[in-house]
Amino acid sequence: MTEGDRNRDRDRDLSVYEQIGGAATFWRLVDCFYAKVEQHPLLRPLFPDDLEEGKRWQALFLMQYWGGPAQYATERGHPRLRMRHAPFAITPAARDAWLHCMLAAIDETDIPEPARGQMRDYFEKAAAFMVNRVLPADDGATS
Ligand code: HEM
């Protein structure tokens, strides 16, 4: 058995949370993502003036989702993400911008494979689910 095989076997048993280094890595990822949101002309106005609380929920949610402690559920209850996003006008363009920032943050945080690929797949699917406003110009209609 090669070292690569051993790594793969070990990774199969570990949650993504454990594979990527636990809470510290999720805080770095979310810090990096929010630094991008803060600079983004389309995203920044969608978010509240004070970003700190949302940032904390985002980090706690992601840790829980990827197999870490369930502190989000304890403090906040069921995620109900679509409902929690309903007050924010999320167009396809906003989704693309959000995804671009998150995928870049994953790379800048040096999250290794296979966790990187799993996280990218998840964010691509989940971001599509969060779109709640489709403007006539975006929906393919011709009139
Ligand atoms: C992969 C998809 C996404 C996930 C997993 C996600 C996750 C989250 C989480 C966990 C929260 C905090 C919820 C809470 O208050 O308990 C949140 C808040 C928020 N998200 Fe998302 N989100 C996603 C996509 C998006 C997209 C596409 C946008 C807009 C372009 C967006 C904009 C926001 C805004 C504006 C907030 C509120 C922040 C605040 O209250 O400070 N999200 N999101």
**In this predicted model, what pLDDT tens digit does every residue of 24-47 receive, in sequence order?**
999 999 999 999 999 999 999 999
Q: For position 68, which CATH number holds? A: 1.10.490.10
Q: Atom 18, ligand 1: which residue's CA is nearest?
A: 54
Q: How many domains does the chain have?
A: 1
Residue owning tokens 């002309």? 41
Residue 13 lies in a domain: no
Give Cβ neighbours of residue 128 (< 8 Å, ≥ 6 apart). 95
Q: Domain range for residue 107? A: 20-133
Q: What is the mean pLDDT of the chain?
A: 91
Give Cβ neighbours of residue 74 (< 8 Å, ≥ 6 apart). none
pLDDT computed for residue 5 by the predictor: 62
Q: What is the pLDDT along the chain (143 residues), one digit of tens a residue?
A: 566 565 565 556 899 999 999 999 999 999 999 999 999 999 999 999 999 999 999 999 999 999 999 999 999 999 999 999 999 999 999 999 999 999 999 999 999 999 999 999 999 999 999 999 987 655 544 44
Q: Can you give the C-alpha Rg of the chain in angstroms?
A: 17
For residue 30, the tally of other CB atoms under 10 A from its CB is 23
Q: Atom 38, ligand 1: which residue's CA is nearest?
A: 54
Q: Which of 30, 33, 81 to mutate to test the pocket of ligand 1 (most atoms within 8 A of CB)?
A: 81
Residue 1 token pair: 């058995």
3-state secondary structure of 82: helix
Q: Atom 16, ligand 1: which residue's CA is nearest?
A: 57
| CA 121–ligand 1 middle distance (angstroms) | 17
Residue 118 lies in a domain: yes
pLDDT computed for residue 143 by the predictor: 44
Interaxial angle between packed helices 23-39 and 52-65, expressed in degrees from 0 to 180 and rounded to the nearest 10: 140
Q: Atom 43, ligand 1: which residue's CA is nearest?
A: 58
pLDDT computed for residue 1 by the predictor: 59
From 47, 51, 136, select the one nearest 90 (Cα to Cα): 47
> Cβ < 6 Å from ligand 1: which residues?
43, 46-48, 51, 53-54, 57-58, 61, 76, 81, 84-85, 88, 90, 94-95, 98, 123, 126-127, 130
Ligand 1: atom nearest CA of 62 is: 10
**E-strand spans in 4-117?**
none
Q: Are 135 and 143 a contacting pair, CB within 8 Å?
A: no
From 130, 120, 96, 115, select the one nearest 22 (Cα to Cα): 115
